[in-house]
Amino acid sequence: MSLLRRLRQLVQKPQAEAATPATPQVPDLNPDVLFREQVAQAIQTHLPELAVTRTGPQLAIGSLTLTCLVGERRQHPQAIVFGLEVRAYQATYFPGGLVDCLAGIGADDADALASGAHNYVTGVLQPIVEALDAAHSPALDFYGRAGLLKWHPLAGPLHVQGFWAARITELDEAYFLRLFQPHLAELFEEQPMPLAENLRQ
Amino acid sequence: MPNGEFIGDCLLDNEPWPAGLALLAQEAATWETAGQFAGQKQFFLFRQCGAAMVTPAKEVVG
């Protein structure tokens, strides 16, 4: 009888061990860290040609650095909504940072942060990267003050919610650009022009 | 908003741009959204022609 019990113990022991993960994954619940990692993941997914590194609380992509911040969290009956902010810095062109505030909406916290990260990477970071890579769409070019300076617009995709979600195909992605263009042309100042030797830094 | 109220932000160089926001408000007032919430958001970046850019952002992975 004791032998039978012993045999059962030998047989059952591996099953009991298998039920316990060897290295349990403990998620980091700091929202700023979660959001930063979601942004890094979205970059890997949508802009896989970019090399992302972590430098303290920031993400670095070459000379571009991103600070990802999570603000207010609101729990609605069917969704979690985070107020999110991402600041992109580049020493020559925007040393003070390009600040984008957006909402992360999802079924739970991780889903909401991932949604915000996706929208930032596809809607804001991608045009920034294209601008730094000297890309542009000639059809969108326009001239500024006194027709002396020519500007290359880089447009992110039009993000829509609610009524427009089912009618996105009815919208013109360049509409707002054409709406603003005559007003912006008078406001734009000359941008810093790096010296030739700076191009190889 | 479903009640017809307009809520928006329009920033230029990280600062509120009232003239741009007024243009958006005029535009939104023409939307026939049948009492539903309707939202649009878009980001633009403008690069001066001839401002040869450094190319810091694209690196080959691996």
Residues of chain A with Cβ-Cβ distance to B50 below 8 Å are 150, 193
* CA-wise closest residue to A130 among A42, A40, A46, A41: A46
Among A151, A162, A192, beta carbon nearest to B46: A151
Residues in A closer than 8 angstroms to B42, CB to CB, are 123, 155-159, 173, 176
Partners of residue A64 on adjacent β-strands: A61
pLDDT at A69 (0 to 100):
96
**pLDDT tens, chain A, 201 aa long:** 444 444 344 334 344 444 444 444 445 568 999 999 999 999 999 999 999 999 888 999 998 999 999 999 999 988 999 999 999 999 988 999 999 999 999 999 999 999 999 999 999 999 999 888 888 888 888 888 767 778 899 999 999 988 998 888 889 999 999 999 989 888 887 776 553 322 223
pLDDT for the residue numbered A6:
47
Answer whether B22 touches A (CB < 8 Å). no
Determine whether the interchain pair A158/B43 forms a contact, defined as Cβ–Cβ distance below 8 Å.
Answer: no
Contact B23 A160 (CB under 8 A): no
Give the gap in angstroms from C-alpha B19 to the nearest C-alpha of chain A: 8
Question: Are A134 and B39 within 8 A, CB to CB?
Answer: no
Nearest CA in chain B to A93: B53
Cβ contact A99–B14 (<8 Å): yes
CA neighbours within 13 Å on the CB side: how many for A18? 5
Which of A63, A98, A151 faces B48 most closely, judged by CB atoms?
Answer: A151
Cα A155 from chain centroid?
A: 15
Are the beta carbons of A61 and B57 separated by less than 8 Å? yes
Amino acid A26: pLDDT: 45
Q: Does the distance separating the beta carbons of A131 and B47 come in below 8 Å?
A: yes
- Looking at beta carbons, which pairs linking B21-28 to residues 24 or more positions away fall under 8 Å? B23/A179, B23/A180, B23/A183, B24/A176, B27/A179
CA of B28, closest CA in chain A: separation in Å? 11
Q: Over range B15-37, report the average pLDDT.
A: 92
Question: Are A151 and B49 in contact, with CB atoms under 8 Å apart?
Answer: yes
A120 - beta bridge partners?
none
Which residue in the set A129, A155, A163 is minimally distant from B57, CB to CB? Answer: A129
Sheet holding A58-61, edge to edge: A53-55, A58-61, A64-76, A79-90, A94-106
Domain membership of residue B62 as a residue range: 1-62
pLDDT recorded at residue A142: 87
Q: Is the pTM of this model over 0.90?
A: no
Q: Which pLDDT score, from 0 to 100, does residue A113 have?
A: 95
Q: If we measure between CA atoms, which residue out of B11, B58, B12, B45 comes closest to residue A64?
A: B58
Q: Among A154, A176, A180, whose Cβ lies nearest the Cβ of B45?
A: A154
Identify the DSSP state of B54.
P
Q: For chain B, how many structural domains are there in total?
A: 1
Interhelix angle A175-185/B18-28, nearest 10 degrees: 150
Residues of chain A with C-beta less than 8 angstroms from the C-beta of B4 = none
**Domains of chain A (ranges plus CATH)?**
23-135 (3.30.160), 136-196 (no CATH)
**Coil, helix or strand at residue B26:** helix
Residue A99 confidence (pLDDT) = 94
